[in-house]
Structure 1
Amino acid sequence: MNGADHGDEATFAALPPARGRGFAETWWGRAWLRTLEDSALDGRQLRQGRARARAGAVGAVTVRPGRITAVVTDRDGTAHRADVLVQELSDGDWQRFAATAAARAGHVAALLDRDVPPYLVEDAAAVGVDLLPGMGDLEAECGCGAWDHCPHTAALCYQVARLLDRDPFVLLLARGRGERWLLAELTAGGTAAAGADARAGAGSGGPAGVRADEAFAMGGILPALPGPPPVPEDAGEPPSLVTGDDNTDGTGGTDGTGGSPGAGGGGTGGGAVDPAALEVLAADAAVRARRMLAEALGAVPAAPADDRPPDVRRDAVRLAATTAAAVPAVVARLAAGTGRDAADMAAAVRAWRLGGAAGLAVLEEECTPAPDVLARAEALLARAWDAPAGDSPAVVPSGDSPAGDRPTADRPTGRAGGGSTSGGAAGNGDGRPALRSLGGGRWEVPGAGAQLRLGCDGRWWPYRRLDGRWTPAGPADHDPGAVLAGLLEGDDLG
Structure 2
Amino acid sequence: MITARDDRRRTFETVPAAVEAVSWWGRAWVSALEEVAHDPARLARGRSYATAGHVGAVTVTPGRIVAYVRGSRPRPYRTELTLPPFPDGRWSELLEDVAADPAALGALLEREVPRTLAGTVLPGAGELVPHCTCPDVGRPPCKHAAALCYRAARLLDEDPFVLLLLRGRGERELLEDLTRRNAAHAAREQPRTAPDFPAVAARAALARSVLPPLPAPLAVPAAPGLPPAYPADPAAPDPLALDQLASDAAARALALLTTGEDPIAGLSLWQDAVRLASAHPTAGLTGAARTLYRDLARATGRTTTDLARAAAAWRQGGRPALAALEEAWDPPAGPFDRARPTLLAAAHGAFRPDRNRLTSRTRQLRLGRDGLWYAYESRPGDEDWWPTGSPSPDPVTALRG
TM-score (norm 2): 0.48
| RCO higher in structure (CA 8 A, sep ≥6) | 2
TM-score (norm 1): 0.39
Q: Which has the larger helix fraction?
A: 2
